[in-house]
Amino acid sequence: MRELSQTIASSYIYVFPSGPIPVTTGKFGSGGFPANGGWYAGNPASIQPIQYYLKDRVSSGEVKIEIYDASGKLVQTVPATKRKGINKVYWNLRYTPPKVAKGGAKLDGGAFTAPQVMPGDYKMKLKIGSKEYTSDLKLVHDTSNRSFTLEDRTLQHASAMKLYQMHEDLSALVEKISAEQKLVKESDTAIKTVKTRKMTDEYHAKLETLRSELLATKQKSIFADEEKLREQISEIYSAISYQEARPTNLQLERIAQLQEEIKKANENYTKLNESYAAKVREAIDAEKKIGAGGKARSSN
């Protein structure tokens, strides 16, 4: 508010420069509870907001903030406000959550979790309709937490990103499995011969067996009581992403184990695909040709 001059107030838009922003998960507490029922102020925000001034309310068009790292890669898109006057938008200093394997019996928490970014130089782009306004952001290591050094943060970040990539890899694998299953199911009505039916059913069943090893697919009660590879990744991924501490030796060992399981799952899919995919497609095409020939004869 102190920075708001007449020059700024007369501008259509003004992005206030940001000071160094410590990378932190924030402080906890609401500021106190007076026993006599008096008014009390809450604690100030522990993460510095991105602030900009609008002379008039934006009446049309989308308003959003995009954060880019030093290499120009998009880190996260944050919805922004369009009110007249000073607007404050809070970026949680994290990436966009990973793409998580779909098709399970429950939602997975990994889809809502993202690692913190590392200290460094970032660029903020405020986009209002077709117009764009940029500003630099400087993120610094939080030196107030003496038990969490920059070296610890670097290892924590690298570990979280390994798990992030595991979720992305697992999602890609499950998508490939689901695509193969969809192909078989959509061709179901065209299959007439016993031999082809047996082969496609066998392929679909083996794909489902593999898929059920990768994520929880069954729910026997009101609780999703299965825990498969996706859920195992999310458990340690969430823990490391939100801890401001060096990963433990047990956590690092668990990451290595999960990486091996992802590698094994991909190898199993490759073997299964090589054994069945081409034969199944060839058989389905043959069945469709037979069906098309029968229709042609009946029409004649």
Query: What one-character-per-residue DSSP string does 110-162 give?
Result: GGG--PBPPSEEEEEEEEETTEEEEEEEEEEE-TT-TTS-HHHHHHHHHHHHH
Query: Does the pLDDT at position 268 exceed 70?
Result: yes
Query: Does the pLDDT at position 141 exceed 80?
Result: yes
**By mean pLDDT, which of 16-30, 75-89, 149-163 is the weakest?**
16-30
54 pLDDT band (50/70/90 cuts)? very high
Q: What is the mean pLDDT of residues 214-219?
A: 87
- DSSP secondary structure letter of residue 20: -
Query: Does the pLDDT at position 37 exceed 80?
Result: no
In the chain, % of residues over pLDDT 70: 88
Q: What is the mean pLDDT of residues 226-255?
A: 96
Torsion sign over Cα 101, 107, 110, 112: positive
Q: What is the mean pLDDT of residues 20-49?
A: 72
- Tell me what pLDDT residue 61 has: 86
Q: What is the mean pLDDT of residues 220-238?
A: 85
Query: Does the pLDDT at position 271 exceed 60?
Result: yes
Q: What DSSP string runs through 191-239? A: --SHHHHHHHHHHHHHHHHHHHHHS----SSSS-----HHHHHHHHHHH
- Tell me what pLDDT residue 189 has: 86
**By mean pLDDT, which of 25-29, 60-64, 105-109, 182-186 is the weakest?**
25-29
Q: What is the mean pLDDT of residues 160-177?
A: 98
CA dihedral 154, 156, 158, 164 (to 10 degrees): -150
CA atoms within 13 A on the CB side of 269: 24
Query: Does the pLDDT at position 298 exceed 60?
Result: no
Query: Does the pLDDT at position 42 exceed 70?
Result: no
Would you say 234 and 216 are in contact if contact means Cβ atoms under 8 Å apart? no
pTM: 0.87
Torsion sign over Cα 216, 174, 234, 91: negative
- Tell me what pLDDT residue 34 has: 59
Task: Look up tokens 């098309």; give the residue.
Answer: 292
Structure-token pair, residue 114 = 């993202």
- Tell me what pLDDT residue 165 has: 98
- Tell me what pLDDT residue 2 has: 64
CATH level 3 topology of 6-141: Immunoglobulin-like (2.60.40)
- Tell me what pLDDT residue 36 has: 63
Q: What is the mean pLDDT of residues 33-43?
A: 64
Q: What is the mean pLDDT of residues 68-89?
A: 95
In the chain, % of residues over pLDDT 90: 72
- DSSP secondary structure letter of residue 45: P
Rounded Cα distance between 243 and 255, Å, is 16
Query: What are the residues whose beta carbons fall under 8 Å from the beta carbon of 49, sequence distance 6 or more?
Result: 88, 89, 90
- Tell me what pLDDT residue 7 has: 78
**By mean pLDDT, which of 78-87, 176-185, 288-297 is the weakest?**
288-297
